[in-house]
Amino acid sequence: MMSRLRNFEQAVNSAITSKASSEKLTVPLKVVSYNIDSVNPENSSVIGLHYFTKAPLEFRLNKSTNANQPSINGFQSLVSGADPKFDYSVPKNGVIMFMDCKMAKDGSYTAEWGKCAVRKNNQTIVNNFSTVKAVKQYGNRPPYIVFESYVPTIATTLELSKVKSKSEIEALIIAALEPKMGPEANRSIALLRVISPDATENVLCFEIGAIKKSSDDNKQVNCTGSESFENFTKDGMGKVIFKDGAIERLIGTDLTLEVIPGMSYYAGKSTAEAYFYTSEELKAQNKSAELQGTLKPKTIISVWSNMLNKVELIQDEAGNESKVRKPKVMNMYLTAAQLDDNTKLITAFNTETTSQTVYDLSEIPTEALLRIRGTNAVKSTQLNEQASPDASKPSAKTNEPAQAEKTKSNEKQPEILDFDLSESDIAELTEISKNMNLG
């Protein structure tokens, strides 16, 4: 006879697996065609490819009592040449972001909600491990939201047992800090990690950010990777690691050094301002004017910003203490609009699942981390593999700046859409680009 304890254990396990099976996904679908049922619009569907994995998928929207819920017929309206009364219409090769998705018995998917993500030639989606910082208004500088995003699939590694000099290490970091999108575009960032095969040792992490400088015409432009690296090593932590001999003492050991490239993205003005108090809102709510430009409570950005930016107390051997920011990241879909100077500004953001895993920087899953430390080094890797149909696994490159296989796959997909940004769109996005010191 099964013991009461065993019965209890099975009941708990059943509850856990039931919750896992109800996990709902966010899926970016690149539109291939629409199946429109004019008699029963609830039966209409859209067929397309997962934006990143290229898996073929079919989606329907569940019926809702919400009068504002979009419809598949609305997404399709521009394809048929109808008057675009639906501002969420998405043409072929555009992208619909479906939310709260579940697979149906026939292999298709249903979603509770959908919204236009890409319908213009200079819009795109990036899928990175990102943290979020919301910064309140300071003086004349408006409040802003910034996403610091790392791309583990293009991480580069060095086995320190084979390294001859620190210049090999510096070259990896400098390459990651080089401007990726142009002189005035987004700032590059890099995450330096030192991984030991000993599971009792911490994975050491160091954030390194590229810097900007004023050009002859007083524009803020990206420094070269070498200039940014030199700035990092001129004092503080960077100086200790690279100028005072700390890194040389690791050369020849069984440690692995890893560099995860990334990029800094600011939210567009209209996207960001919804999360901060305006003077008009404060007057209407009879709140103090001192709150102008501060973050509104109980919004998704306030929750994320608090959750992903913890401050910890560290102590050296002499007992001296200091507070340091310990950022965390989530796997996010970031929808971006690209300006004429190649700057990408975030216009929308989503996580892959309804209960997204939060990672320390030391836990960002890469091929090297999983190979050296095993799956226990990463929180709930299975959750992220389930997050997208046919999700691709992380793969690292050694001394290679790009993931060739993924690039080849992307080249096969046409990106020709029917619309360009309007003049008002450009004016709005350019304003935030000029008004913010992106360095």
- Residue ending a domain, among 119, 148, 183, is 119
Q: How far is CA 275 from CA 149, 290, 302, 329, in A?
A: 20, 16, 8, 20
Domain that holds residue 79: 20-119
Token output for 93: 């090769």
Same domain, 85 and 172: no
Residue 16 has pLDDT above 60, yes or no: no
Residue 85 has pLDDT above 70, yes or no: no
Residue 161 has pLDDT above 90, yes or no: yes
The 10 Å CB-count burial string (b at 16+, else e) for 82-119 is eeeebebbbbbbbbbbbbebeeeeeeebbbebbebbbb
CATH assignment of the domain containing 62: 2.40.50
Question: Using one digit for the tens of pLDDT, what is the confidence trace for 50-73?
Answer: 999 999 999 999 988 787 788 898
| Dihedral pair phi/psi, residue 111, rounded to 5° | -135, 150
Number of domains in the chain: 2
Residue with tokens 């020849």: 252
Residue 380 has pLDDT above 80, yes or no: no
Mapped onto helix, strand or coil, the DSSP state of residue 369 is helix
What CA–CA distance (Å, rounded) separates 211 from 174? 12
Same domain, 262 and 297: yes
Question: Using DSSP, how many helices (H) and how many strands (E) does the chain show?
Answer: 12, 17
Q: Which residues pair with 434 in a beta bridge?
A: none
What CA–CA distance (Å, rounded) separates 147 from 156? 22
- Residue ending a domain, among 119, 134, 161, is 119
Token output for 52: 């990143």
| Dihedral pair phi/psi, residue 168, rounded to 5° | -65, -40
**Strand-pair category, 56-61 with 109-118:** parallel
Assess if residue 15 is contained within a domain. Answer: no
Same domain, 73 and 97: yes
Assess if residue 102 is contained within a domain. Answer: yes
What does the DSSP assignment read for 2-27?
--HHHHHHHHHHHHHHHHHHT--EEE
What does the DSSP assignment read for 313-324?
EEE-TT--EEEE
Assess if residue 289 is contained within a domain. Answer: yes
- If you average pLDDT over residues 132-147, what whole number do you get? 93
Same domain, 144 and 289: yes
Q: How far is CA 194 from CA 200, 257, 281, in A?
A: 14, 5, 48
- If you average pLDDT over residues 225-244, what whole number do you get? 95
| Contact by Cβ (8 Å): 156, 401 | yes
Mapped onto helix, strand or coil, the DSSP state of residue 95 is strand
- If you average pLDDT over residues 317-344, what whole number do you get? 90
Amino acid (1-letter code) at residue 385: E
Mean pLDDT is lowest, of 113-127, 162-176, 223-237, for 113-127
Share of the chain above pLDDT 90, in %: 57
Same domain, 265 and 290: yes
Same domain, 244 and 373: yes
Tell which residue, 231, 251, 253, 235, has the closest CA to residue 243: 235
Question: Using one digit for the tens of pLDDT, what is the confidence trace for 95-133?
Answer: 999 999 999 889 999 999 999 899 888 899 999 999 999
For 210-252, the three-class secondary structure string (H helix, E strand, C coil) is CCEEECCCCCEEECCHHHHHHHHHCCHHHHHHHCCCCHHHHCC
What CA–CA distance (Å, rounded) separates 407 from 165? 32
Same domain, 95 and 149: no
Residue 417 has a pLDDT of 41
What CA–CA distance (Å, rounded) separates 235 from 226? 15
What CA–CA distance (Å, rounded) separates 69 from 58? 19
Assess if residue 5 is contained within a domain. Answer: no
Residue 306 has pLDDT above 80, yes or no: yes
Assess if residue 248 is contained within a domain. Answer: yes
Residue with tokens 């629409």: 34
Q: In 32-124, where does DSSP find H-type helix?
A: 72-76
What CA–CA distance (Å, rounded) separates 432 from 430? 6
- If you average pLDDT over residues 323-346, what whole number do you get? 92
| Contact by Cβ (8 Å): 308, 358 | yes
Assess if residue 14 is contained within a domain. Answer: no
Same domain, 154 and 87: no
Mapped onto helix, strand or coil, the DSSP state of residue 428 is helix
Q: In residues, how long is the chain? A: 439
Same domain, 392 and 371: yes
Residue 312 has a pLDDT of 85
Residue 272: how many other CB atoms lie within 10 Å = 22
What does the DSSP assignment read for 72-129?
HHHHHTTTTT-----TT---TT-EEEEEEEEE-TTS-EEEEEEEEEE-BTTEEEEEEE
Assess if residue 349 is contained within a domain. Answer: yes
Same domain, 292 and 165: yes
Same domain, 240 and 188: yes
**Strand-pair category, 212-214 with 220-222:** antiparallel
Longest dimension (CA), the chain: 83
Residue 391 has pLDDT above 60, yes or no: no
Assess if residue 11 is contained within a domain. Answer: no
10 Å CB burial of residue 365 (0-12, 13-18, 19+) is buried
| Contact by Cβ (8 Å): 292, 277 | yes
- Residue ending a domain, among 57, 90, 119, is 119
Q: In 285-412, where does DSSP find H-type helix?
A: 300-307, 367-373, 381-386, 404-411
Same domain, 76 and 191: no
